[in-house]
Chains A and B, each alone.
Chain A
């Protein structure tokens, strides 16, 4: 190919200027003081692999930056105080009404500060994006096995980020002190009071006396703008540093192995794409802030502990524990002068903590079951780890059903259904649904594995129907391209489930079993891999190819005679071919 016309801007030659460039001069100035050249040397051309799914974490990162920027703007006008004032601002419907300074300043931001409503809405939308993209990013990392060694700790950091992001969201939407957010704090007081032994004390300390007091808003404000953002920043920095240190995972493919990383250099392409993407995320948030109304606090009115609106619901990421709270049967124990509110304790305190602990431990549970201590840098397709994929789909199903329960009143109204029946249904479904989802997903993955092997052994389906001399019909199969065959088989074989993992002593003889835990682990491991389809062995591959050649021979005489659908689309010459004439 003639490459003489390659664009001059294309950096295929080293950027050595004839005289020191201005950038070079600045770099020298900096290096003489900071010594950054050795670090820059390694990282300026650091390779980042490309795949659309690697963008999800980036959305989370950039929406956090948007949150910081819009949040600082909001703090300039927001007054985190529960002191009572009479409203005299621009919004007519509330003029003359008593309200807290927090709510009055939220109204001021919405109606009397230019761009204030936009910033409020962008801040809220960015918060939604932040939590949502973290969740989807988490799913990507789990489904592709990217959490495996050496990245387990980054999974833990990411899980903490999700937890903190959720708390940050709750403390944030509680600040305007409107009727909806106040109802949320009211319920939170009920959750705190349900804590065994110290609950009442915690509630009195949190609210500086009885609910609602006048301290909760300033306290939540400090947590929201100082404590949690500080922790988030530190953890995000650690998350990024580990990402750079480990180098990003990549999908297997021609030239991509466990030992290398293939992609674009940080400077210029990755920096440009990621930096440009920051502006895209920021811009989309601005678009949402302009066009999509969110949390119109002026419509709810100021918080009044004796009032409530129908359809009171938290922000969506708080929906699943709220759903659990809704479908939990009302059980309370009273004995020895104490009360244990299982109906609040289990769904809102125990369940989320349990789910979070499971989430945090997933990489370690996985490593314990599989016994896999190797480093992994190539991603796995979800289908190639059927039990793992099914586990997450089961957890997602449970999450989704709890989440649906959090909107049981909305579902009842929308579908004109009985809220009682919806609730009874969901009480059972949160347990049965995940099991069904697990089984379906696992079998689905295994079917897809079979399909991959079929493609490898017998070729892919061309859609061309052949008729044999005897009048039988068959579909023509063609071998998959070498690069695809390589990609499909660039995965590990599962360990043999049975008889292969007995502990062996120094003399190579089976030693005494190492206790009950090993036995349990081996049983789980057997179930974990059972029914998985392995990639073909070399012998199977050879047999498959032989079979294909044989078929090809049979079909050989027909080649060039039957219409294969590619006569006139330029795929092959048509000189010697003509449509059959009757």
Chain B
């Protein structure tokens, strides 16, 4: 045990900013408090008891380890995960025995440290973070000797050309990531990357394409809808591939779902305030809007039929479907794009024309 530090330790030999008052002590440092022996230090019964406690804890851990292995083989997996009071039997048994296995070791070691290991605090002296002045001078001397021998300051041509070459090394790190994907301009109809509905400005919607229910793909007749109904719909091409007749699948299907999804709602025709040039975009009070939020692109589907408001569950942007889907609340800045509707010769809802603007979140080149 080192001698308790005295008040002198508080003095500082480092240069002190003269704006700052000196560190001072009003009271003498009383020194480390007296060490008190624990019962386990002075009573061999208590010591033995603590020893037994620690060993018992380690023993309990071993028991839990065995329980873990047993429950691994005993309990069925693959059942509904809610069999025992909302928990899966296998998960519960393995998890609890694993917790016991680990906690008992941890508590045992800590108990050992608290009761049986030496509990006298010891003192160590600090050193300034900086090296000694001597070391610093030696290091600076070594540094300047090294730099001098390299001649880096005498040969600016070598130095600067090296710096230039090293600086350029950063470029390949960026350039070689180029093939991570096509540029926005390379994706689209007739471009390098082309597929049905390709391009950030386009969707698969085309004039005369049927609006079909999103899960089953069946077309919709205006008479199928009651006032207040909302139908989640998709372009028919997702199911029949348009002219090719092959249903879309894989990435192309996912991309088109993320752009082509629409909501179809029916309301009292008198409630609709048609936008300029959109007077004939509805059929019997049925209107159709992009389902993809213009904020950051979540699909929107929380519809309040009395107000005709559609609310995005991600960030609560609210659009008035009776009034060209204008934003009535929330962080979105633009109305949902509207799909002009008409009825085809068989009486099903179809698009009069594709969307007249890109769907989904804003982007720089959108204009």
Contact = CB atoms under 8 A, between A and B. Distances in A.
A6 interface: yes
12 contacts: A111-B77, A113-B77, A189-B361, A207-B181, A259-B125, A259-B126, A260-B9, A262-B122, A275-B109, A286-B102, A287-B95, A344-B362
Interface in B1-54: 4-5, 9-10, 12, 14, 16-17, 19-21, 23-33, 37, 40-44, 47
B298 A312 contact: yes
A364 interface: no
B96 to A, nearest CB: 5
Interface string A256-280: 0111111111001100110111111
B191 to A, nearest CB: 11
Nearest to A250: B126
Interface string B342-367: 00000000000000000011111111
Contacts of A209: 181-182, 187, 193, 251, 255
A325 B29 contact: no
A394 interface: no
B118 A375 contact: no
A489 B29 contact: no
B314 interface: yes
Contacts of B184: 200-201, 203-204
A11 B181 CA distance: 65
Contacts of B297: 186-187, 189-190, 211
A63 interface: no
B239 to A, nearest CB: 13
Interface residues of A, number: 150
Contact of A341 (B26, B32, B333): B333
B113 A290 contact: no
Interface string B73-92: 00101110100001110111
A492 B21 contact: yes
Interface string B135-150: 0000000000000000
A111 B78 contact: yes
A194 to B, nearest CB: 7
A581 interface: no
Interface in A294-331: 296, 298, 304-312, 322, 325-331
B266 interface: no
Nearest to A296: B81
Contact of A204 (B79, B101, B181, B330): B181
Given A210-B198, A290-B95, A486 B19 contact: no
Interface in B100-116: 100-110, 112-113, 116
Contact of B72 (A3, A114, A268): A114
A293 B177 CA distance: 39
A410 to B, nearest CB: 11
Contact of B363 (A50, A193, A245): A193
Contact of B258 (A149, A211, A494): A211
Contact of A409 (B87, B178, B316, B367): B316
B364 A200 contact: yes
A375 B44 contact: no
Nearest to A89: B78
B249 interface: yes
A489 B296 contact: no
Contacts of A490: 25
Given A113-B77, A205-B177, A310-B302, A200 B42 contact: no
A16 interface: no
A370 to B, nearest CB: 8
A276 B107 contact: yes
Nearest to A263: B121
Contacts of B98: 118, 283, 286, 290
B189 interface: no
Interface in B238-292: 249-251, 254-255, 257-259, 261, 291
B321 interface: no
Interface in A1-36: 1-3, 5-7, 9-12
A214 interface: yes
A213 B252 CA distance: 8
Contacts of A265: 122
Interface in B186-206: 187, 193, 198-200
Contacts of A509: none
A408 interface: yes
B151 interface: no
A67 to B, nearest CB: 15
Contacts of A203: 184, 363
Interface in A501-518: 501
Contacts of B72: 114-115
Q: Which 3 A-B pairs have the closest CB atoms?
A: A290-B95, A190-B296, A279-B106
Nearest to A93: B80
Nearest to B367: A337
B120 A84 contact: no
Given A203-B184, A279-B102, 20 more contacts: A6-B41, A47-B124, A118-B98, A150-B129, A212-B254, A215-B180, A260-B125, A261-B123, A263-B121, A264-B122, A293-B81, A305-B257, A306-B234, A322-B315, A330-B317, A341-B361, A374-B12, A483-B30, A493-B21, A495-B19
Contact of A118 (B94, B100, B107, B122): B94
B332 interface: yes
B99 interface: yes
A332 B334 contact: yes
A430 B332 CA distance: 20
Contact of B30 (A264, A331, A486, A501): A486
A198 B177 CA distance: 14
A526 to B, nearest CB: 12
B44 A326 contact: no
Given A117-B91, A194-B361, A268 B117 contact: yes
Given A254-B31, A326-B316, A6 B365 contact: no
Interface stretch (A382-390, A533-541, A559-567): A533-541
A2 B183 contact: no
A190 B257 contact: no
A483 B34 CA distance: 12
A196 interface: yes
A280 B364 contact: no
A372 interface: yes
Nearest to B301: A308
Contacts of A311: 313
Report which residue of B5, B37, B117, B316 has the largest number of chain A beta carbons within 10 angstroms of its beta carbon: B117
B94 A115 contact: yes
Report which residue of B30, B44, B130, B259 has the largest number of chain A beta carbons within 10 angstroms of its beta carbon: B30
B27 A330 contact: no
A11 B78 CA distance: 53
A183 interface: yes
Interface in A406-439: 408-409, 419-420, 423
Contacts of B123: 47, 255, 260-262
A47 B119 CA distance: 13
Given A190-B297, A272-B117, A290-B91, A277 B126 contact: no
A379 B260 CA distance: 60
B296 A276 contact: no
Contact of B300 (A198, A246, A308): A308
A47 B2 CA distance: 13
A499 to B, nearest CB: 11
Interface in B326-346: 327, 329-334
